[in-house]
Amino acid sequence: MCNLSGHFAAVIDGVLHDTYDCTRDGSRCVYGYYINTDAARDEQESKNKAAFVRKNLAPMLRAAGVDVADVVYRKDPETREEIVTLTYTCGATRDICVTADSPIMIAYEIVNKV
């Protein structure tokens, strides 16, 4: 939410949304803004988990004898389920829903499910 001069408007993914063009050709002053910190924190947490899983989980699985080519973490935007997709060297894939919070626990959970 942006606090404009005498007006409020929504900004979604960097795009201004309003019932009319309130930009005044780019000269409208922004006096303040509100960011949903829970959403921002959740997005950063998902990025951290994805980076950890991609970097560490595939080598861990290979060391355990699993013939995996790639491992990807994602959070489904609609259901908010956390999913790890294993891609095997033969091309087959497998989705595993995870329930753990920390990246280390996600790795532990995946290793135990494979």
Q: Would you say the pTM of this structure is higher than 0.85?
A: no
Look up residue 20 and give its amino acid.
Answer: Y
CA angle 12, 83, 89 (to 5 degrees): 120
Q: Residue 90: helix, strand or coil by DSSP?
A: coil
User: How many whole angstroms separate alpha carbon 103 and alpha carbon 88?
Assistant: 21
CB 72 within 8 A of CB 54: yes
Percent of the chain residues past pLDDT 90, beyond the cut:
7
Q: Write out the DSSP string of 27-39.
A: T--EEEE---HHH
What pLDDT does 100 receive?
Answer: 64
pLDDT in tens, 8-64: 888 877 788 888 888 888 788 888 888 777 777 777 888 888 888 888 888 888 888
